[in-house]
Structure 1
Amino acid sequence: MGKKGVLLVNLGTPDSPEVSDVRTYLDEFLMDERVIDINAFKRTLLVKGIIVPFRSPKTSKLYKEIWDENGSPLLYFSKIQVAMVQEKLGGEYHVELAMRYQNPSIASALDKLKAAMVESIQVIPLFPQYASASTGSVIQKVMELVGKWQTIPPISFINSFHDNELMIDTFAQNAEKYQPESYDQILFSFHGLPERQLKKCDHSGQHCLKKNDCCATLTDVNKFCYSAQCHDTARLIAKRLNIPAEKYSVCFQSRLGKEPWVQPYTSEVLKELAEKGKKRLLVFCPAFVADCLETLYEVSVEYHEEFRALGGEEVQLVASLNDDPKFIEALVAMVKN
């Protein structure tokens, strides 16, 4: 029998922090119809005419702040994750890494699996919570590419793992060294999405954003809702650490444009907490399985500085899953089960 193929896919990173590479990355990322889900003509004008030209130099400077001797932290930790998963799974499996945008590309990774003549392919998008713009985009891209093969092997996808016990334990253990009980408030800051994308995922048409707490509890109606899964992840980590509901907040970062995104926004929560006299905040970013620009700079630098300017003292980031052996166990279990 042939080997079983495994494809781990993360979002992506520029090939370098230089403006030209950042421009190429942003162009591919933002031209994805699932990321900016508007009319193709309008998306092209917006991305190529406004966002990429003006945003690339600024984003390049931010990437240079987190780039180190290992290069992109996201790519560095992703490579380690793949190597560790391969070692744990052994010779019966062939594990490849891909990025949805830029390198290593999904196409190149799939070609390697095809060349290895794997008997099946399991795809794990490395996004704990399902969103059309992340997991959905990966699944669509894989199906488009494999759909052109003459022989299509059995192929399966992990839709989400927002409630994976080993993942929850890893985040909790990463936080324990900071003594969460000593902080004034715990923040669970997730990557943001436009509200319209949440509404599109509500197939009932009767639930999403119909009331303020529509995402507070995971149900059959909202089980594929990104925001509801985020709230559930936060609840499970808080439960694991015995953090009472009143001492933690769920919020969303990385907003783009003026239209409504998933709320509350992290920046507004920081302001509210500062006004209440909160001084020290411990922040989880459970939408990311590896530290990246959004964690290492947006939270650790920008939000820390923003909170101090508001009168607070500290914003402490809880490290992501990175190369933690327990998270590797979680990925291995997903593959085998």
Structure 2
Amino acid sequence: MKNPYSTAILLINLGGPESLESVEPFLFNLFSDPDIMGYNRILLKPLAKFISKRRSPVVRGYYSLIGGKSPILELTRQQAEALQKALPDSDRFKVFTAMRYWHPFIEAVVNDIIDFQPQKIIVLPLYPHYSITTTGSSINEFNRVWNRIGNPGIEVRIVREWHKNPFYIDAVCETIVKTIESHKLDIKTTQIVFSAHGLPLRFIKDGDPYATQIEKGVETISRQLGLGKNCHLSYQSRVGPMKWLGPYTEDVLKELGDRKVSSVVLVPISFVSDHLETLYEMDILYREKAKGYGISNYYRVPALNNSPLFIKALKDIVLQV
């Protein structure tokens, strides 16, 4: 019997390996996703096996530099716990956490939700900006699972994008201001680089709105903070020979170094929690590159993680669905 007053909230994030041994199977799951790879399903599994086997030694090296595992599940669970406490009449809600490419997988968590017997499920992928490769893939996987094992008597509502949420914008602004103030910098003159996860250009050509939403989001944040020409947008994390969104973060840092800029603040704009892209790429790789380019003061803004304003944003999103 369904609980007549209950709503299940399903937070979905990327996932990450829980040990160095799980790097290769995690990569296999990632590269097996047709929403990312776009290959015929018959060819996809052998290709994913080949890529994950070839890439895993390098990626294991990256993870070994940040503690040997991804913190994304732990951080997402902290966000879920904070959201649970923030919701009014919290007995009416139960927040669940699932990962797209590693444990706990969406199917396992959907089974837990069915056991909870809610009246309604709110599916909230933790990507503010929509792309078929992130939000779209998570929703597609949920739908595949739900169509196979779901209860048709339970109402399902899905959040597809939330980059315009005012509390989300406020949360990003707050992290930037705190970083600027803690290092006694001038927000009007310090060079601020918003670094978003990259995307192959073929998705943009097919109509993916990700780049447009990122650009508009950075414009909104820049306007709210009163930034001017000291604001830059770049993209990171490209893999393979294909053309990706640009400019690339390392190229922007080099350009600033060539201009004899001494202080740069890097902002992770499309990441709501710390993982490999912030802890390795931003904190280690780009820091070393910035130093090599002559940038002596390099600062990275923290990811949102369980920032109270970010939790307020999640609460606002859920209550509006």
Alignment TM-score > 0.5, same fold: yes
- Runs of 5+ unmatched residues, structure 1: 203-224
Contact 2:114/2:151 (CA < 8 Å) preserved in 1? no
The CA distance in 2 between the partners of 1:150 and 1:73, in whole Å, is: 30
Question: In the TM superposition, what is the alpha-carbon distance from 1:41 to its structure 2 partner?
Answer: 5.3
| Residues 1:226 and 2:210 aligned together | yes
The CA distance in 2 between the partners of 1:268 and 1:40, in whole Å, is: 36
| Residues 1:327 and 2:310 aligned together | yes
Contact 1:300/1:315 (CA < 8 Å) preserved in 2? no
Aligned partner of 1:296: which letter?
L
Contact 1:23/1:52 (CA < 8 Å) preserved in 2? yes
Q: Look up the match of 1:137.
A: 137
Question: In the TM superposition, what is the alpha-carbon distance from 1:270 to its structure 2 partner?
Answer: 1.4
- CA-to-partner distance for each residue in 1:64-100, whole Å, 9 max, x for gaps? 22228xx632122111110111122210011100001
**Aligned positions, number:** 309
1:79 to 70, 77, 92: 77
Partner of 2:95, secondary structure, is: strand
Question: In the TM superposition, what is the alpha-carbon distance from 1:130 to its structure 2 partner?
Answer: 0.3
Q: Look up the match of 1:195.
A: 201
The CA distance in 1 between the partners of 2:108 and 2:10, in whole Å, is: 11
* TM-score when normalising by structure 2: 0.92
Question: In the TM superposition, what is the alpha-carbon distance from 1:149 to its structure 2 partner?
Answer: 3.0
Q: Look up the match of 1:35.
A: 36
Q: Look up the match of 1:243.
A: 227
The CA distance in 1 between the partners of 2:38 and 2:296, in whole Å, is: 39
Runs of 4+ displaced beyond 6 Å: none
1:249-260 pair list within 5 angstroms:
249-260=232-243
Question: In the TM superposition, what is the alpha-carbon distance from 1:39 to its structure 2 partner?
Answer: 3.8
The CA distance in 1 between the partners of 2:158 and 2:269, in whole Å, is: 20
Aligned partner of 1:329: which letter?
K
The 10-residue stretch of structure 1 (146-155 or 88-97) with the greater mean CA deviation from structure 2: 146-155
Partner of 1:34, secondary structure, is: helix
Aligned partner of 2:7: which letter?
K
Question: In the TM superposition, what is the alpha-carbon distance from 1:43 to its structure 2 partner?
Answer: 4.2
Question: In the TM superposition, what is the alpha-carbon distance from 1:155 to its structure 2 partner?
Answer: 0.7
| Residues 1:264 and 2:247 aligned together | yes
State, as a whole percentage, how many aligned pairs show the same letter. Answer: 31
* TM-score when normalising by structure 1: 0.87
- CA-to-partner distance for each residue in 1:113-132, whole Å, 9 max, x for gaps? 10010111100000010000
1:154-165 pair list within 5 angstroms:
154-165=155-166
Contact 1:181/1:243 (CA < 8 Å) preserved in 2? no
The CA distance in 1 between the partners of 2:116 and 2:47, in whole Å, is: 41
Contact 1:11/1:100 (CA < 8 Å) preserved in 2? yes
Aligned partner of 2:144: which letter?
E
1:297-316 pair list within 5 angstroms:
297-316=280-299
The alignment's C-alpha RMSD in Å is 1.7
- Runs of 5+ unmatched residues, structure 2: none
* CA distance 1:150–1:44, change in 2 (3 Å): closer
Q: Look up the match of 2:173.
A: 172
Contact 1:2/1:117 (CA < 8 Å) preserved in 2? no
